[in-house]
Amino acid sequence: MDGIIQRTLIIILIVEFITGNVLNAFVALVNCMDWAKRRKISVVDQILTALAISRIGLLWSVFTGIVIVVLYPSLLLVENFMIMIHITWTATSHFTLWLATCLSIFYFFKIANFSNSLFLYLKWRVKRVVSMTLLMSLIPLCVNIFSWKTNNYICFEGFKSNVSCSSSLNNFTKSYRFLLILNTTLVSVPFTMCLTTFLLLISSLWKHHKKIQHNAQGCRDAGTTAHVKALRVIIASLLLYFIFFLSQVVQLWSSVMLKKTLTILSCQAAGVSFPSLHSCVLILGNTKLRQASLYVWWWLRCRAKDVEPSGP
């Protein structure tokens, strides 16, 4: 039974890996082609392109980690190799989360409508707000990498010293659990920010709806439509954020995680769904990307018909 579940999880991971790479490469390619054509690129396209590139890096780092854990576990004891793998995963995962949060913040300031003076001040400087948010996010990234390198040094020094195997493994497990606690805490920060923008957009939509009812206008005006589209994107982000966050918590509270391949594969399959499925949501929610995807779909259908063998 375990073998069937393991093979199923591996198939899910492979599908997520291929889908995520194709979708994110599509987003980056469309935006880069549009940038080369127009000689300029909008803030949204900049965020989406950077997000797509970081997600491709994240998918490859996760895939590499899974291959090592399942097929070459001895490489886990190679210090320099593990440092390189972890720093790559940490950086790509960090920018994947924070760029998605910056996208939610951008949608919020562009679409929401409040009379608060601070909100109006930030609304007119939304580009600077997004840039500062991304810049400030480098602080937890540095904390994460520094903490891991410190714990990694202690862990490998324990392996090199004359201590028992069980004691070294115990130190390794404690170090890993500490890093998971740190990662879970750091992930909760962009999740909280994304949740806050969602609640504020709900409040803005409610006020906007009351206003148009008072003015006896139709309920399907442009403002309501913009609010609803932004809410759809943020709801999908929150859902996938939660799945990613839950995968971290499961790893944290599973005391024998390092000994169970099924637990590792399950958590990774849940976590990889964020960079894979969320890209599909962003493509469907972006007019330019959606039209480009429809054109590609139409082109593929035409090519498929052309290669079909003709009848006798």
CA dihedral 140, 144, 146, 151 (to 10 degrees): 150
Q: How many Å apart are CA 254 and CA 173, to the nearest integer?
A: 11
Domain boundaries, the chain: 1-210+228-295
Confidence of residue 66 (pLDDT cuts 50, 70, 90): confident
The residue among 259 and 143 whose pLDDT is bigger is 143
- Asked whether the beta carbons of 190 and 98 are under 8 A apart, the reply is yes
Identify the architecture of domain 1-210+228-295 in CATH. Answer: Up-down Bundle (1.20)
Give the model's pLDDT for residue 246. Answer: 72
Helix, strand, coil share (%) of the chain residues, nearest 5: 90, 0, 10
Q: How many Å apart are CA 240 and CA 282, to the nearest integer?
A: 12
**Residue closest to 257 by CA, chosen among 189, 187, 179, 191:** 179
Q: If you average pLDDT over every residue of the chain, what do you get?
A: 76
The yes-or-no verdict on residue 124 having pLDDT over 60 is: yes
Q: Is 39 left (phi over 0), alpha (psi -120 to 50) or beta?
A: left
Dump pLDDT digits (tens) for 145-192.
887 766 665 555 554 554 444 554 555 556 666 666 777 778 788 888
Confidence of residue 257 (pLDDT cuts 50, 70, 90): very low
The yes-or-no verdict on residue 222 having pLDDT over 70 is: no
Please name the residues in contact with 212: beta carbons below 8 A apart, sequence gap of 6 or more: 218, 219, 221, 223, 224
The mean per-residue pLDDT over the stretch 102-110 comes to 87
Confidence of residue 132 (pLDDT cuts 50, 70, 90): very high
The yes-or-no verdict on residue 82 having pLDDT over 60 is: yes
Q: Give the type of residue at 222.
A: A
Opening angle at CA 177, ends 145 and 98, nearest 5: 45
Q: Give the type of residue at 90.
A: T
Dump pLDDT digits (tens) for 25-56.
999 999 999 999 888 888 889 999 999 999 99
The yes-or-no verdict on residue 24 having pLDDT over 60 is: yes
